[in-house]
């Protein structure tokens, strides 16, 4: 009897000490029962933002392969979700089940730093992605490899370089099914992964949010754009933050990886101008520290 008790205790302790292994495939499989909560808008200028929940509807066989059908609630405004499959550390996507349509490469998790790969982009086109960094992040007891990828938005030599992070077992932190939405130049769209769950258990949390349902909710987290004017946004360089309260102490700017890239100490001016001219194109998070409160907003650098 004592032996049984010790075995039970060992199993319990092993469960506490062993990291959660769910969703550590290159990309989630059907048995992971995954859910991605993606915040964004199909038209940045309309300022109509919402959170869509993406999940697998079923597996289905066509074109000689077995795909996982992706659905969204509420449905994507574009009407396109897609079908995905994984093989040999590569993830492929079809936007429909017509075998005449192209199968795109969505992710390649076998890359090394400096490697270049052609992946799906802007729904019907392909472009070159290159790995600029590979590291490991840990959330909810799970270690995951993260690939920092760059790509061109637009056509060189008039294009800008934009960053995107790929996380093994989750996908892109911009949009896990990014070819199903427009992310190219002049799209004026915005998307960001908030949370990832497996069978109802949370395994990923966006570092800038405290919720999975909307972007800025929390006791000490407020939407900066509801308090001040930020213009122009999107911007090509200079950006003005007008109407800051006198209590504002500091402005910080973070990239999509959560790295601090710029900060400004406020000294009485409630209309500071930030110079982002030398910054790579892409999404940034602007935060204003005001006592115990942090005001937060998004900046798109073109």
Write out the two tokens for 23: 């969703």
Q: What is the pLDDT of residue 14?
A: 41
pLDDT at 73 over 80: yes
Q: What is the pLDDT of residue 273?
A: 87
Distances 177 to 54, 80, 103, 158, 204 between C-alpha atoms, Å: 9, 10, 13, 26, 16
Average pLDDT over all residues of the chain: 81
Q: What is the pLDDT of residue 138?
A: 94
248: CB partners within 8 A, 6+ apart: 266, 270, 288, 289, 290, 295
Report the candidate in 266, 199, 277, 254 with the shortest Cα–Cα distance to residue 20: 199
Provide, rounded to the nearest whole percent, the portion of the chain with pLDDT above 90.
Answer: 35
Lowest mean pLDDT among 8-22, 53-67, 161-175: 8-22
205, with CB counted inside 10 A (0-12, 13-18, 19+), is middle
Distance (Å, whole) CA 174 – CA 106:
13
Which residues is 287 bridged to in the sheet? 252, 296
Residue 8: band (very low, low, confident or very high) from pLDDT cuts 50, 70, 90: very low
How many CB atoms are closer than 10 A to CB 153?
19
280: CB partners within 8 A, 6+ apart: 150, 160, 161, 162, 163, 301
Most confident of 180-184, 196-200, 208-212: 196-200
Higher confidence at residue 84 or residue 283?
84
Report the candidate in 50, 96, 92 with the shortest Cα–Cα distance to residue 75: 50
Write out the two tokens for 159: 């294009």
How long a stretch of residues is the chain? 302
Tell me how far apart the terminal alpha carbons of the chain are, to the nearest angstrom.
68
Lowest mean pLDDT among 174-178, 220-224, 225-229: 220-224
The pLDDT of 88-97, averaged and rounded, is: 93
pLDDT at 168 over 60: yes
Q: What is the pLDDT of residue 38?
A: 92
Domain boundaries 221-301, corresponding CATH code: 2.60.40.3080
300, with CB counted inside 10 A (0-12, 13-18, 19+), is middle
Residue 44: band (very low, low, confident or very high) from pLDDT cuts 50, 70, 90: low
The pLDDT of 228-241, averaged and rounded, is: 84
Q: What is the pLDDT of residue 146?
A: 95
The pLDDT of 184-202, averaged and rounded, is: 85
Higher confidence at residue 8 or residue 209?
209
pLDDT at 59 over 90: yes
């Amino acid at each position: 009897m004592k032996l049984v008790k010790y075995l039970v205790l060992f199993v319990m302790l092993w469960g506490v000490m062993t990291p959660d292994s769910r969703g550590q495939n290159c990309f989630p499989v059907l048995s992971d029962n995954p859910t991605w909560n993606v915040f964004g808008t199909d038209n940045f200028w309309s300022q109509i933002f919402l959170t869509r929940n993406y999940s697998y509807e079923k597996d289905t066989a066509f074109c000689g392969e077995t795909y996982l059908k992706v659905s969204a609630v509420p449905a994507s405004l574009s009407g396109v979700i897609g079908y995905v499959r994984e093989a040999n550390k590569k993830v492929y996507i079809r936007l429909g089940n017509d075998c005449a349509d192209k199968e795109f490469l969505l992710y390649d998790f076998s890359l090394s730093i400096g490697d270049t790969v052609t992946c799906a982009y802007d729904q019907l086109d392909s472009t070159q992605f290159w790995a600029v960094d590979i590291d490991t992040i840990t959330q909810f007891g799970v270690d995951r490899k993260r690939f920092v990828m760059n790509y061109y938005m637009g056509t060189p030599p008039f294009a800008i370089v934009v960053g995107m992070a790929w996380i093994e077992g989750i996908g892109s932190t911009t949009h896990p099914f990014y070819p199903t939405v427009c992310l190219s130049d002049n799209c004026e769209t915005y998307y960001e992964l908030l949370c990832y769950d497996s069978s109802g258990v949370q395994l990923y949390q966006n570092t800038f949010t405290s919720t999975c349902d909307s972007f800025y909710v929390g006791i000490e987290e407020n939407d900066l754009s509801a308090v001040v004017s930020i213009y122009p946004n999107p911007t090509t360089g200079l950006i003005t933050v007008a109407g800051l309260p006198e209590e504002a102490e500091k402005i910080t700017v973070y990239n999509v990886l959560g790295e601090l890239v710029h900060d400004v100490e406020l000294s009485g001016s409630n209309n500071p101008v930030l110079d982002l001219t030398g910054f790579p194109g892409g999404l940034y998070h602007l935060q204003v520290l005001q006592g115990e409160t942090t005001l937060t907003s998004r900046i798109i650098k073109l």
